Chains A and B, each alone.
Chain A
């Protein structure tokens, strides 16, 4: 037995999930493009706040009954309003960008072959990528919600919230409900992330994977808006994404959200499984 062999023999197998996961988060959040993406998400909710402020100044007293109009009376509502506005396009787009990069980005750079020969097992690499997508979804939703609260408070002030049911809840209770809304949105976005992860295993072009994932989410929203397809709506991933608004009822209405979480989970499991089946024996020629 040669000298180097002996030194390798004493090396124990340790788990690499934690270290690779930390490295993955540094990679995702250290990347300038992703940081700009977060700023854009924040900028959109800021624009919404400013637009509402301007319209309030021009038409004082005009007030609708929905969540967006409620912002004019209480800045904390801008957190909910931001999520409502961005859940349709911008948050899914952000997740699509991250998911497109997950495997296809590494394949495109050629770093995939070096990761796999390091070695990291393919299922572990997929799991790390999936968890990083979950964190990315959470951070995106958090930035929108907390950014909305800060901007809204600065523009409209903060105070106890009037729920959609007409009752009054304290600021602390309101913020707690906003946090629950963020977590609910995160689960839905992460499920979309699993679709993106699957697409990402099919190509070596991250842009293609991103575009395909964003198209899937947009298509789902369009299908969800066609009344003739109402039989299909309960099965669509995005159908209950906006149900976090039920957190603003008193008492909180949970039926739609619970079903929504099950749908998210089903999509997540199916597409993570599909990604694994595809990636497990894939020939890495990049």
Chain B
């Protein structure tokens, strides 16, 4: 296997449940070593995609490969190298956190029974759950359950971590800790496939993103490129609004509007410096001029055409 293989790739991947086409013609490309943010509104097919990648759901169109091998056929070889948190944690309520981890470890045919306890202990340590290791799972709070789910993904050294909403249910401190952990794992060279509805989380952690909408990938690539997809805008503060509008119109900025916080318009192909020079040359007193930082959320809404409403 060559190292330049993608960690996850798919080709025309599709899945239909009854009449509902949940995933359509999906081409995923997750570079090895990247931290890939998988975002999209609820019901856009993210979880079904993850389930197909992990061999839980059979695709009915296209194909997907994880760590360079075809899934689900190569599941027995590939999955020991993949840690996964899918749609929230799930454990036996009347077993302790540690016993639950040992059960999952026992299911993995490649794991070494001699080191099971020490590995489970290390995983619990890493997510800050060692003190509650022998408590029954049913006594765990939502945040502790989430941490146990992450601990299960860390039972073995992994090449790929698939994390579906890893900070769900965590308090702000827990969220920080988990994000720190994810960043740490990414720095160690583990490829991270992070599905999230928290755009700030993706923006903070990821270097690549894929945006889903109604089962289709609407944008995919390095995070910086996605930012670039959004129309660049500027904001101008001045007292001479009338002259300023004339100058802007002369430069070809047609969509400038005056808001409470000054004049906002699209830059188009213009360089910001040119606008400022033209304004000053025309005698407009410029109090402030600057590009408007496009947040990922703006780009997201522009791409998906919706906020976080559930897709029908």
Contacts and interface: CB of A to CB of B under 8 A. Distances in A.
Interface of A: 1-5, 7-8, 11-16, 19-20, 22-23, 26-27, 30-32, 109-111, 113-121, 124-125, 281, 283-285
B106 A110 contact: no
B305 interface: no
Q: Which of A1, A118, A121 has the most CB of B within 10 A?
A: A118
Contacts of B99: 26
Contacts of A284: 51, 56-57
Contacts of B159: 2, 4-5, 8
Nearest to B91: A111
B56 A113 contact: yes
Contact of B90 (A5, A20, A110): A110
A39 to B, nearest CB: 17
B103 A281 contact: no
A8 B156 contact: yes
A117 B91 contact: no
B92 A113 contact: no
A14 B110 contact: yes
Contacts of B103: 20, 23, 27
Given A2-B189, A3-B189, A114-B104, A120 B57 contact: no
B158 interface: yes
A12 B102 CA distance: 19
A16 B90 contact: no
22 contacts: A4-B159, A8-B156, A8-B157, A8-B159, A11-B112, A13-B110, A16-B106, A19-B113, A22-B106, A23-B106, A27-B95, A27-B103, A109-B93, A114-B152, A116-B54, A117-B86, A119-B76, A119-B108, A120-B108, A121-B76, A124-B109, A285-B56
Contacts of A30: 94-95
B156 A13 contact: no
Contacts, number: 129
How many B residues are at the interface, by size bracket? Answer: 35 or more
B104 to A, nearest CB: 5
B75 interface: yes
Interface of B: 3, 17, 32-33, 51, 54-58, 75-76, 79-82, 84, 86-88, 90-95, 99, 102-113, 152, 156-159, 188-190
B108 A118 contact: yes
Contact of A2 (B33, B87, B113): B33
B107 A115 contact: yes
Those 7 A-B pairs whose CB atoms lie nearest each other, nearest first: A110-B90, A16-B109, A2-B189, A119-B79, A118-B107, A19-B106, A4-B157
Given A14-B110, A284-B56, A285-B51, A4 B104 contact: no
Nearest to B109: A16
Given A4-B158, A5-B159, A16 B57 contact: no
Given A27-B103, A283-B58, A7 B157 contact: yes
B152 A283 contact: no
B88 A110 contact: yes
B109 A117 contact: no
Nearest to B33: A2
A111 B51 contact: no
A19 B107 CA distance: 7
Given A4-B157, A11-B112, A109 B92 contact: yes
Nearest to A125: B107
Nearest to A124: B109
Contacts of B156: 8, 11
A281 B75 CA distance: 13
Contacts of B111: 11, 14, 16
Given A27-B95, A283-B57, A1 B107 contact: no
A109 B90 contact: yes
A13 B109 contact: yes
A284 B86 CA distance: 12
A117 B106 CA distance: 12
Nearest to A2: B189
A5 B191 CA distance: 11
Contacts of A11: 80, 110-112, 156
Nearest to A6: B157
